[in-house]
C-alpha cells in the first residue's frame, strides 16, 4: 500500500502577484515599484485612459487652467504689453483647449510607464468576488474573473453630491463636470471654499467672471497659517470676489436661464451657474467590498495601518480612498511604500512628517511644517522672519509683486519649524526650505540661508531676506 503525500499548506496559483484597482498617482506608484521588484502586476482602470481623477478631472486640468489664466492676467497687467493695446479676453472654453493638450501628453507618458514595465493594463469596472478574486466588467458587456495574491485599492475619490441638488441640470456643476462647461457665464456661484473652490474662484475671476464664493466655515482654508489665509481672502476680495463666510445652502433652484441658491440664513444668491465644490467621497461604492470582508466609512474611505494594509491582510489601499492628506504627491509615495511593505513585511518606510501643501490659487500658496497657532498652543518659543516679494529684484523684473515668504524658527536652537509662502511660484519656492528642514544632526537651522550664496536676482533670495529679518529679531 502506497501512502499518499499531502501538503500541509495548499499552494494556490494566481493570475497575478498583485492586482491594482485604479491608475491615479497611488496606483501608479504601487505598480511601478512592484514591477521593479519583479512582481507580475495588473492594473484595472474603469476609464478608457490611465491617469485617474488626478490627470483627467482634478490636479492636471485645474492647474493647466490656472496657468493659462495666470499668464493672461500677467499679460494684461504688464505695462510693456498693455500700452496702447486693448486688454485681451479669453473664455473658459478658450483655455480648456490648453488643459486638454496637457492631459493627452500626461496620458501618453503614463501609458508608456505601464508598457515599459510590462504591467498589464485592463480597462473595465472592478469589483470583489472574494479577497483574492476580482470581477472585471468590460466595456463590451462581458465579464471575467482575475485572481491575485494581493490587491491594492487606489480608486481615488469623486465630488460629493448631496441628494437635494440636481447635478443633471445644465447649470449645476461639480468639480469634475465643470470641465464640460459649454457656455460663457458672466456670473458664477461657487459653494465650498476649500482648496478646489478657492482655486476655481481665482480662475473664473481671472477671466473677468463675477464670482460669489460661499464658505461654510468662518475663514478660508483654516488649516493654513492665519496670515496666509488672510492674504488669500484679501487678494480675492481686492480682485472683486464676494466671499460669504459661515453660510450653508438650504436649497438650490435651477431654471433655464439661472441658478438661485437659497441660504439657511435667509439670503438668496442668483448667477448663471453653480459650481458645487464642498467635499469629496471615496470611490468604493461599486467595489462590492463586503465580499472581500471590508467596509468603508460614511465618506467611502477605508481604514489602513502604517503599512497601508486594510483589515484584510492581503488587501492594501492608498491615495484619496484612505483620506488625509488627499494629495497627488503623497498618494504616489503611499503607493511606493505600500508596494515595499507588500513584498517585505519588515519594511520601515513611511511618509515624511512634514508634507508640503501646494494650493494653486492666483497667486499660489504653499506651506510646510507648523503654523504660528500650532507653535503658540504648544508653547514653543519661536521667532518669525519675513520677506516681501515686492522688495525682491526678480519679482520687480517679472512684475509679480504680490506675496511674501515667512519662516518660523526656534528662538534658541534656530531650527526651522515651518515655512509659509504666498505668491507666484510659491509651490516651487517652498521646496528649498523643505530640503533644509529635512537635514539631520543640526543641519536644519535658519542660519543656512544667511551663510549660503543665492543666485541674484532670484525668487529664492526670499529665504536669505527672511532669514536675516528673523535673526535680527533675536536678542
Q: What is the CATH number of the domain that holds 235?
A: 3.50.50.60
Percent of the residues in the chain that have a pLDDT greater than 90, as a whole number: 88
Q: What is the pLDDT of residue 110?
A: 96
Question: Are residues 417 and 296 part of one domain?
Answer: no
**Residue 354 within a domain:** no
Q: Are residues 291 and 251 in the same domain?
A: no
Residue 164 forms part of a structural domain: no
Q: Quick check: is 421 in a domain?
A: yes
Q: Could you tell me if residue 163 is inside a domain?
A: no
Q: Please report which helix (H) or strand (E) contains residue 213, including its range.
A: strand 210-214
In this prediction, residue 87 carries a pLDDT of 65
What is the pTM assigned to this prediction? 0.93
Asked whether residue 10 is domain-assigned, the answer is: no
- Residue 355: inside a domain: no
Residues 125, 90 share a domain? yes
Specify the number of domains making up the chain.
3
Mean pLDDT for the stretch of residues 158-162: 96
Annotated binding residue at 50?
A: yes
Q: Give yes or no: residues 305 and 267 share one domain.
A: no
In this predicted structure, the answer to whether residue 6 has a pLDDT above a threshold of 50 is: no
How far apart are alpha carbons 17 and 314 in whole angstroms?
Answer: 11
pLDDT at residue 75, as a whole number: 86
pLDDT at residue 271 tops 60: yes
Average confidence (pLDDT) over 45-58:
96
For residue 259, say whether it is annotated as part of any ligand binding site.
Answer: no
CA distance 339 to 336: 5
Residue that finishes a domain, picked among 278, 301, 321: 278
Let me know whether 270 and 338 are in one domain: no
289 and 267 together in one domain: no
Question: Are residue 69 and residue 154 in the same domain, yes or no?
Answer: yes
Decide if 66 is inside a domain: yes
Nearest to 271 by CA among 219, 214, 216: 214
Tell me which of 263, 278, 293 is where a domain ends.
278
The whole-angstrom distance between residue 109's C-alpha and the CA centroid of its chain comes to: 20
Does 52 belong to an annotated binding site?
A: yes
Angle at 346 (CA atoms; ends 345, 350), nearest 5 degrees:
95
Confirm if 363 and 426 have CB atoms less than 8 A apart.
yes
Supply the range of the domain harboring residue 271: 172-278
Identify whether residues 297 and 150 lie together within a single domain: yes
Q: What is the per-residue pLDDT for 83? A: 67
Burial call 193-216: b when 16+ CB within 10 Å, e when fewer: bbbbbbbbbbbbbbbebbbbbbbb
45 is in an annotated binding site: yes
Mean pLDDT, rounded, of the chain: 94
Residue 424 annotated in ligand binding: no
Please state whether 438 falls in left (phi above 0), alpha (psi between -120 and 50) or beta. Answer: alpha
Note the pLDDT tens digit of each residue in 99-144: 999 999 999 999 999 999 999 999 999 999 999 999 999 999 999 9
Question: 298 among the known binding-site residues?
Answer: no
377 assigned to a ligand binding site? no
Residue 7 lies in a domain: no
Q: How far apart, in whole angstroms, are the C-alpha atoms of residue 34 and residue 271?
A: 49
pLDDT tens-digit series, residues 204-248:
999 999 999 999 999 999 999 999 999 999 999 999 999 999 999
Say yes or no: 153 and 31 in one domain.
yes
324 shares a domain with 227: no
Can you tell me whether residue 148 is helix, strand or coil? strand
CATH code, domain with 443: 3.30.390.30
* Last-in-domain residue among 311, 343, 375: 343
Kindly state the cell numbers that stand for 416.
526651522
Judgement on whether residues 136 and 56 belong to the same structural domain of the protein: yes
Decide if 110 contacts 28 (C-beta within 8 A).
yes
Same domain, 311 and 388: no
| pLDDT one-digit tens code per residue, 273-317 | 999 999 999 999 999 999 999 999 999 999 999 999 999 999 999
Question: Does 48 show up as a binding residue in the annotation?
Answer: yes
Closest to 44 (Cα-Cα) out of 176, 179, 139: 139
Amino acid at each position: 500500500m502506497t501512502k499518499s503525500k499531502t501538503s500541509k499548506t495548499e499552494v494556490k496559483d494566481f493570475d497575478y502577484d498583485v492586482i491594482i484597482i485604479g491608475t491615479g498617482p497611488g496606483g501608479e506608484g504601487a505598480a511601478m515599484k512592484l514591477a521593479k521588484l519583479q512582481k507580475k502586476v495588473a492594473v484595472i482602470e474603469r476609464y478608457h485612459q490611465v491617469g485617474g481623477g488626478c490627470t483627467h478631472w482634478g490636479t492636471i486640468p485645474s492647474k493647466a487652467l490656472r496657468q493659462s489664466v495666470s499668464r493672461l492676467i500677467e499679460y494684461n497687467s504688464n505695462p510693456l504689453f498693455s500700452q496702447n493695446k486693448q486688454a485681451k479676453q479669453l473664455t473658459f472654453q478658450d483655455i480648456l483647449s490648453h488643459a486638454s493638450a496637457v492631459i493627452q501628453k500626461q496620458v501618453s507618458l503614463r501609458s508608456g510607464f505601464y508598457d515599459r514595465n510590462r504591467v498589464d493594463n485592463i480597462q473595465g469596472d472592478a469589483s470583489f468576488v472574494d479577497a483574492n478574486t476580482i470581477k472585471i466588467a468590460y466595456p463590451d458587456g462581458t465579464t471575467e474573473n482575475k485572481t491575485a495574491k494581493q490587491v491594492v485599492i487606489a480608486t481615488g475619490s469623486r465630488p460629493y453630491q448631496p441628494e437635494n441638488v440636481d447635478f443633471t441640470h445644465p447649470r449645476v456643476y461639480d468639480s469634475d463636470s465643470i470641465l464640460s462647461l459649454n457656455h460663457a457665464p458672466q456670473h458664477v456661484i461657487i459653494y465650498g471654499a476649500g482648496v478646489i473652490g478657492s482655486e476655481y474662484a481665482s480662475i473664473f475671476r481671472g477671466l473677468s467672471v463675477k464670482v460669489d464664493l460661499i464658505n461654510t466655515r468662518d475663514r478660508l482654508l483654516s488649516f493654513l497659517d492665519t496670515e496666509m489665509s488672510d492674504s488669500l481672502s484679501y487678494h480675492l476680495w481686492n480682485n472683486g470676489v464676494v466671499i460669504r463666510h459661515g453660510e450653508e445652502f438650504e436649497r438650490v433652484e435651477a431654471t433655464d436661464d439661472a441658478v438661485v441658491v437659497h441660504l439657511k440664513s435667509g439670503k438668496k444668491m442668483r448667477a448663471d451657474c453653480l459650481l458645487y465644490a464642498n467635499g469629496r467621497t471615496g470611490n468604493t461604492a461599486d467595489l462590492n467590498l463586503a465580499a472581500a470582508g471590508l467596509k468603508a466609512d460614511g465618506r467611502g474611505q477605508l481604514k489602513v495601518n502604517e503599512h497601508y494594509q486594510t483589515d484584510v491582510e492581503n488587501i492594501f489601499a492608498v491615495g484619496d480612498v484612505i483620506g488625509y492628506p488627499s494629495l497627488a504627491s503623497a498618494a504616489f509615495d503611499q503607493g511606493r511604500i505600500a508596494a515595499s511593505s507588500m513584498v517585505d513585511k519588515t519594511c520601515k518606510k513611511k511618509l515624511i512628517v512634514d508634507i508640503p501643501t501646494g494650493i494653486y490659487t492666483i497667486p499660489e500658496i504653499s506651506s510646510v511644517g507648523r503654523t504660528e497657532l500650532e507653535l503658540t498652543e504648544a508653547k514653543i518659543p519661536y521667532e518669525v522672519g519675513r520677506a516681501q516679494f515686492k522688495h525682491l529684484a526678480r519679482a520687480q523684473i517679472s512684475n509679480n509683486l504680490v506675496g511674501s515668504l515667512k519662516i518660523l524658527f526656534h528662538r534658541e536652537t534656530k531650527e526651522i519649524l515651518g515655512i509659509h509662502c504666498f505668491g507666484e511660484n510659491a509651490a516651487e519656492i517652498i521646496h528649498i526650505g523643505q530640503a533644509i528642514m529635512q537635514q539631520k544632526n543640526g543641519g536644519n537651522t535658519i542660519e543656512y540661508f544667511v551663510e549660503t550664496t543665492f543666485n541674484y536676482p532670484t525668487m529664492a533670495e526670499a529665504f536669505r531676506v527672511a532669514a536675516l529679518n528673523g535673526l535680527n529679531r533675536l536678542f
